[in-house]
Amino acid sequence: MTHRPEPVSPPPSPTLAPHLVVADAPGAIAFYKRAFGATEKMRLADPKLGGNIVHAELVIGDARFTLAEEAPEWNTRGPRALGGTPVVLTLHVEDADAVAARALEAGARIIYPIADQFYGQRAGRIEDPFGHQWILSTFIEDVPMDEMQTRLARWWEEQGKGGA
């Protein structure tokens, strides 16, 4: 009788994980490592597509995401090819200012500068060199919902959009 080893299951996948499409997947991987401290877990390249990365998995903190090279023949295009993105990723970090500085140094651009926000976060938004937008956020205080609503109304007034 032969002994069959028990199969080894991969760790559970998160219920939802972003999959980013980019032009220049190796460059994107390098950017996410440098700017966000990402760790590359795997990379698959298709030899028939000139070695293009068809699937890479990265981890930042306890979050996992995947990415692949654009492939218009598969109707897979990144934000630059589409003229922008309606999706914004939020990255919770220990120091939003430091992460933003690293991201800018690595080629990102500021959309909204890092600042204290009415909802109890120090946050801002950047766009990475591949067209994906990221909110970089650090917890600064726990704000009860009624206070948050009051602060939101005040913020709208300050923006000249009261009642809008």
Does residue 161 register a pLDDT over 80?
A: no
Instruction: Assess contact for 24 and 68: CB atoms under 8 A.
Output: no
Q: Report d(CA 36, CA 68) in Å as an integer.
A: 18
45-49, 61-65, 121-125, 134-138: the lowest-pLDDT one: 45-49
Q: What is the pTM of this model?
A: 0.86
Dihedral angle over CA of 85, 87, 92, 97, nearest 10: 30
pLDDT value for 51: 81
- Per-residue pLDDT reduced to its tens digit, 114-157: 999 999 999 999 999 999 999 999 999 999 999 999 999 999 99
Residues with Cβ within 8 Å of residue 141, at least 6 apart in sequence:
120
Amino acid at site 93: V
- CATH class for the domain made up of 19-158: alpha beta
Render 58-85 in DSSP notation, one character per residue.
EEETTEEEEEEE-BGGGTB--HHHHTS-
**Percent of the chain residues past pLDDT 90, beyond the cut:** 79
Q: Report d(CA 20, CA 42) in Å as an integer.
A: 15
* Pairing of β 109-116 and β 121-127: antiparallel
Instruction: Assess contact for 19 and 56: CB atoms under 8 A.
Output: no
